[in-house]
Amino acid sequence: MKKLFYIFVVKIFFLSSLYSQNASSNYDSLKNDAQVNIGDITVIEFIEALIVNERKKNEISVLLVHGTANSNWIKKSDVEFLMSLIDSKQDAKCIFNIYASLVPKGRSTIGDHAIRLIEVYKSKKEFPDEFLICPKYDSKKRKELKKWWLLEKEK
């Protein structure tokens, strides 16, 4: 019985050390080279802050975001600008709220972030509305937004 207990303790110690190594390697791959106070910048400045100029193979770039923009931060004129970006494949940083405790696992593009911001505009929500945002959208979503915009911009 004692032997079984020791084996159990050693297994738990081993597994926890593996988890700890994984967690630290995830944080080591984060590159936080920018931070913004969302209430102090425009949508265009925000998109510019999301652009990744250079990224190592396993590096995850993040934009550290302070604060929350109110529901009218994104204006109709901003949506026109964002619509011009929805097909962009340019690398983008994930949005990392100062209160986030999770490390992003994926990557995003400027086009995906533009879509996310358009969805925020449509829903009239504050932004960011999540601690960690690293959006991915498919071509179906892009087509849906293009149809929506054709109707919306005439209003």
Number of H helices, E strands in the chain: 5, 6
Range of the domain at 128: 30-152
Q: How far apart are CA 136 and CA 51, in angstroms?
A: 16
Indicate whether 19 belongs to any domain: no
Q: Measuring CA to CA, which residue among 76, 136, 148 is closest to residue 111? A: 136
Indicate whether 76 belongs to any domain: yes
pLDDT at 18: 38
* pTM of this prediction exceeds 0.85: no
Helices 110-123, 139-152: axis angle to 10 degrees equals 50
Indicate whether 61 belongs to any domain: yes
Indicate whether 74 belongs to any domain: yes
Indicate whether 23 belongs to any domain: no
3-state secondary structure of 32: strand
pLDDT tens by residue, 82-119: 999 999 999 999 998 877 777 777 789 999 999 999 99
pLDDT per position in the chain (155 positions), as tens? 555 444 444 444 443 443 333 333 344 444 455 788 898 999 999 999 999 877 666 677 888 898 999 999 999 999 999 999 999 999 999 998 877 777 777 789 999 999 999 999 999 999 998 888 999 999 999 999 999 999 998 87
Indicate whether 21 belongs to any domain: no
Indicate whether 80 belongs to any domain: yes
Indicate whether 66 belongs to any domain: yes
Count of structural domains, the chain = 1
3-state secondary structure of 66: strand
Q: φ, ψ for residue 150 (rounded to 5)?
A: -55, -40
